[in-house]
Chains A and B, each alone.
Chain A
Amino acid sequence: MLGPHAKPLRFEINEEEAQHFALLFQHGVFIRCTTGVTIEELLVAHFGFTRDYLEKRLTTVFLDGAPVDDISEAPVGDGMALALSSSMPGLAGATLRRKGTLSSMRRSITYHHEDGRPAPVHAGHITIKLFNILAQEMGPILMKHGICIDALKLAEFIRLSPQKVQLVSAMGKNTIKDPEEFIRMLEQHASRKVEIVAG
């Protein structure tokens, strides 16, 4: 993931431009954080979301692909993938909802907390994915902490995005006029990561 010797390309963007990057979160981005704490502790204590917000908006949660019912018990270990979503439609959506009435329908894939925490609490990295409305709401806040993504993945994201001009402009502080040139630069740094911080 983020090796100890890797030096990412770093870009700072204005806070108000963070919304252009909301779609990036569906692919998964790396973020430095305290690991070994519960999902709730991570989101509240580390990233600053309120419990009230989590209760009302964070309706579907996955940890390494397993639906989570109790975010106050599930610890996030170093290197894990945390995916967050609002309420989803359909029987499947209702089934995957945390603490939902239909949760038994997905019992065999549900996250089950094993005894003890996976590792001591320490600084680490996780992959975080934000889907649908939460990408718009939580994404800009997480970007203040800085997110990281493979240069090639970012290049492809920008290439396919209808907002490529806005993305490149934000990252280049309006100095980069040609998105294709920026994409080529990223591709030339294929082995590196890119860190984007909003502030």
Chain B
Amino acid sequence: MGAGESPTFQVSPLGEFAGLGGRGLTSAVIAAEVPPTCHPLSAENKLVIAPGLLSGTMAAMSGRLSIGCKSPLTGGIKESNAGGQPAQVLARLGYAAVVLEGKPKRDDLFRIIINKDGVKIEVDNSLKGLGNYAAVERMRKEFGDHIVCISIGQAGEMRLTASSIACTDMEGRPARHAGRGGPGAVMGSKCVKMIVLDDTGMSTRQPRDPEKFRAANKIFIEGLRKHAVTGEALPAYGTNVLTNILNEAGGYPTYNFKEGRFAGASKISGETMASLEAARGGMATHGCHRGCVIRCSGIYNDKDGHFVSKQPEYETVWSHGGHCGIDDIDKIARMDFIEDDIGLDTIETGVALGLAMEAGLVKYGDADAAIDLLKEIEKGTPLGRIIGSGAAVTGRVFGLDRVPVVKGQAIPAYDPRAVKGLGVTYATSTMGADHTAGYATATNILKVGGFVDPLKPEGQVELSRNLQIATAAIDSTGMCVFVAFALMDIPETFTALIDMLNSLYGIDLTPDNVVELGQKILKIERDFNAKAGFTKEHDRLPAFFKAQAVPPHNVTFDVPDEELDKVFNF
């Protein structure tokens, strides 16, 4: 979209980006077409919305959407990932990606409608100032309940750096978010409020070898179902099953990373939440997209049985719970809904709220005061804009020296002093502090290219490297990263994933190719970040993690900087 012009669209072949999907595609496009030193809210930045290589097929778990840009939060390359329905629908519509580029010099807000007949870009200023829920409801009334939506709330319109992009789930709620790194601000800078996708009349993508694809998918699903994590723990309790575990381990960051245990943890645990959901007519087992067989999500109701929010994830419960000293799961769920509606990253915003408490603006544990701060964001007050800009800005404005961010992005719910290998990933990931960057592994991936004894000290750097490579590859497929547990423990599940890719496209990938893909993606991202001005000094945790021991184990982060600099030695 050029200055003063009406926005236009064009459909282009993949060209040099052929064979890429998801994060592989978003990072390749951003690296090739966005000047690394551009301002993230300028016309030069692009927003790339891409389903994965397997999205739109009958492959289980293939509904993840990658959204890439230069991040307004970190200043580096960003791939933000969300569940919900858009990836499947966009892929069935036949698109590998939607790329928003340029910037209109006008005050209008646009909506984009994509269906089997093509693409329409329309002014719709009636959407201005609406939360995601109201905006999506308007679209459903106009186009039908079957549509899916990609939208921003007020935070994205205000171009706040903690703003997210919402994706609708199977019930049509804008409850799944591409949260990390502020992609909502980039979408807002391009004056796009809403993308409506309608795949009526389109078919599921068909594999080149349907028999082989079906057989591989069956093995893949079996692996997921029989694994204790994906087949039992996650469906029953959701990701918040981790609260009790991290708390017991002394790695549950409490009161802004001062302590590793929270006295109120069991009140906000996944077990407690599942029990309340069952009793209140909610749902403890729920998929965020069609084809999900893990179903780690849920529906959280209040004591009268009314919908409050989708089941809050572990990181959301932590950032508003132990981090802020709040042990009221009802209030935490309420905050989750508010942030989904305004369109905010719940990790970034929760950490910012905790910093506001650290600064004495409100008291630790005061959930009502935290909710009031969220309302400030919604209204766009100066205080709200500070909090809505995330942890680094909040810490700077209030003069704090204990600010848990890496590359400007808030550190999530695992203390890196207790689990140092995670600290290596937080520090070195191209995405900033990211708990999902080093998520996936498979025993054969770890052994490809040589095997390092994980019990040796240098093994942690090796592990982090291999995990980041594997995750980058998985993020390109459209697969939910939770498939990683089955991939790690059941080798035939990993083989089945590769078989699905091969039978869909008629190619002959091997595990080595998967490693190469992951390495290629990481190299692209590292290269972009270097050109954007990042150096090895940015691959570090905040100094207080080295200086201040965390109880109860009283440990610090002591992985030497020289070791961190070896993570990307490939």
Chain A residues within CB distance 8 Å of chain B = 23, 26-27, 57, 59-60, 62, 65-67, 83, 85-96, 101-109, 129, 131-133, 135, 160-163
CA–CA, A104 to B466, complex, Å? 14
B421 in the interface, Cβ–Cβ < 8 Å?
A: yes
| In the complex with contacts A92-B242, A93-B242, A83-B446 CB distance below 8 A | no
B141 in the interface, Cβ–Cβ < 8 Å?
A: no
- Asked if A132 and B275 make an inter-chain contact with CB atoms under 8 angstroms apart, the answer reads no
Tell which of B188-196, B244-252, B513-521 binds the partner: B244-252
What are some 5 contacts across the A-B interface (CB < 8 A)?
A: A65-B552, A83-B248, A92-B419, A106-B419, A132-B270
- Asked if B232 and A88 make an inter-chain contact with CB atoms under 8 angstroms apart, the answer reads no
- Asked if B232 and A90 make an inter-chain contact with CB atoms under 8 angstroms apart, the answer reads no
Name the residue in A67, A86, A132 with the highest tally of chain B Cβ atoms < 10 Å from its Cβ: A132
- Asked if B422 and A87 make an inter-chain contact with CB atoms under 8 angstroms apart, the answer reads no
Chain B residues lying within 8 Å of A91, measured Cβ to Cβ, are 414, 421-422, 425, 435, 438-439, 467
B553 in the interface, Cβ–Cβ < 8 Å?
A: yes
- Asked if A109 and B485 make an inter-chain contact with CB atoms under 8 angstroms apart, the answer reads no
| In the complex with contacts A26-B266, A62-B248, A108-B555, A88-B241 CB distance below 8 A | yes
Chain B residues lying within 8 Å of A87, measured Cβ to Cβ, are 227-229, 233, 485
Contact partner of A88 (CB less than 8 A), chosen from B233, B272, B417, B424, is B233
B455 in the interface, Cβ–Cβ < 8 Å?
A: yes
B488 in the interface, Cβ–Cβ < 8 Å?
A: yes
B443 in the interface, Cβ–Cβ < 8 Å?
A: yes
Chain B residues lying within 8 Å of A65, measured Cβ to Cβ, are 248-250, 261, 552-553
Name the residue in A27, A62, A90 with the highest tally of chain B Cβ atoms < 10 Å from its Cβ: A90
| In the complex with contacts A88-B233, A90-B435, A106-B420, A161-B245 CB distance below 8 A | no
B236 in the interface, Cβ–Cβ < 8 Å?
A: yes
CA–CA, A103 to B246, complex, Å? 14
Contact partner of A161 (CB less than 8 A), chosen from B239, B275, B485, is B275
Chain A residues lying within 8 Å of B459, measured Cβ to Cβ, are 104
CA–CA, A48 to B63, complex, Å? 44
Mark contacts of B88-118 with chain A using CB atoms, 8 A cut-off: 1 yes-contact digit, 0 otherwise. 0000000000000000000000000000000
Chain B residues lying within 8 Å of A23, measured Cβ to Cβ, are 271-272, 275
- Asked if B269 and A85 make an inter-chain contact with CB atoms under 8 angstroms apart, the answer reads no
Chain B residues lying within 8 Å of A86, measured Cβ to Cβ, are 228, 232-233
CA–CA, A109 to B485, complex, Å? 23
Interfacial residues of chain B within 238-290, with CB under 8 A of chain A in the complex: 239, 241-242, 244-246, 248-251, 261, 266-267, 269-272, 275-276, 278-280
CA–CA, A160 to B328, complex, Å? 11
Contact partner of A163 (CB less than 8 A), chosen from B233, B275, B463, B482, is B275
CA–CA, A101 to B419, complex, Å? 14
- Asked if B241 and A89 make an inter-chain contact with CB atoms under 8 angstroms apart, the answer reads yes
Chain A residues lying within 8 Å of B246, measured Cβ to Cβ, are 92
Q: How far is the CB of A155 from chain B (nearest CB, A)?
A: 14
CA–CA, A104 to B435, complex, Å? 17
B237 in the interface, Cβ–Cβ < 8 Å?
A: yes
Chain B residues lying within 8 Å of A162, measured Cβ to Cβ, are 275-276, 278-280
A59 — nearest CB in chain B belongs to which residue? B228
Chain B residues lying within 8 Å of A103, measured Cβ to Cβ, are 454-455
CA–CA, A164 to B379, complex, Å? 41
CA–CA, A96 to B415, complex, Å? 13
Chain A residues lying within 8 Å of B420, measured Cβ to Cβ, are 105-108
B460 in the interface, Cβ–Cβ < 8 Å?
A: yes
Chain A residues lying within 8 Å of B439, measured Cβ to Cβ, are 90-91
Chain B residues lying within 8 Å of A132, measured Cβ to Cβ, are 233, 236-237, 241, 244, 270-271
Q: How far is the CB of B420 from chain A (nearest CB, A)?
A: 6
Name the residue in B275, B421, B425 with the highest tally of chain A Cβ atoms < 10 Å from its Cβ: B421
| In the complex with contacts A92-B242, A161-B275, A105-B463 CB distance below 8 A | yes
Listed from nearest, the 4 A-B pairs whose CB atoms lie closest are: A105-B421, A162-B279, A87-B228, A87-B229
- Asked if A106 and B249 make an inter-chain contact with CB atoms under 8 angstroms apart, the answer reads yes
B418 in the interface, Cβ–Cβ < 8 Å?
A: yes
- Asked if A106 and B418 make an inter-chain contact with CB atoms under 8 angstroms apart, the answer reads yes
B311 in the interface, Cβ–Cβ < 8 Å?
A: no
CA–CA, A160 to B272, complex, Å? 10
Chain A residues lying within 8 Å of B232, measured Cβ to Cβ, are 86, 133
Q: How far is the CB of A167 from chain B (nearest CB, A)?
A: 12
Beyond the given pairs A67-B249, A106-B418, A109-B555, 15 more chain A to chain B contacts, judged by CB atoms under 8 angstroms and listed by A's residue number, are: A66-B553, A87-B233, A92-B245, A95-B421, A95-B422, A101-B443, A101-B488, A105-B422, A105-B424, A106-B249, A106-B251, A107-B457, A132-B241, A161-B275, A162-B279
Contact partner of A129 (CB less than 8 A), chosen from B241, B248, B261, B456, is B248
Q: How far is the CB of B154 from chain A (nearest CB, A)?
A: 31
- Asked if B239 and A90 make an inter-chain contact with CB atoms under 8 angstroms apart, the answer reads yes
Mark contacts of B393-432 with chain A using CB atoms, 8 A cut-off: 1 yes-contact digit, 0 otherwise. 0000000000000000000001001111110110000000
Chain B residues lying within 8 Å of A89, measured Cβ to Cβ, are 229-230, 233-234, 239, 241-242, 296, 482, 485
B441 in the interface, Cβ–Cβ < 8 Å?
A: yes
- Asked if A102 and B233 make an inter-chain contact with CB atoms under 8 angstroms apart, the answer reads no
CA–CA, A101 to B455, complex, Å? 8
CA–CA, A27 to B247, complex, Å? 11
- Asked if A88 and B422 make an inter-chain contact with CB atoms under 8 angstroms apart, the answer reads no
CA–CA, A15 to B229, complex, Å? 28
CA–CA, A101 to B552, complex, Å? 25
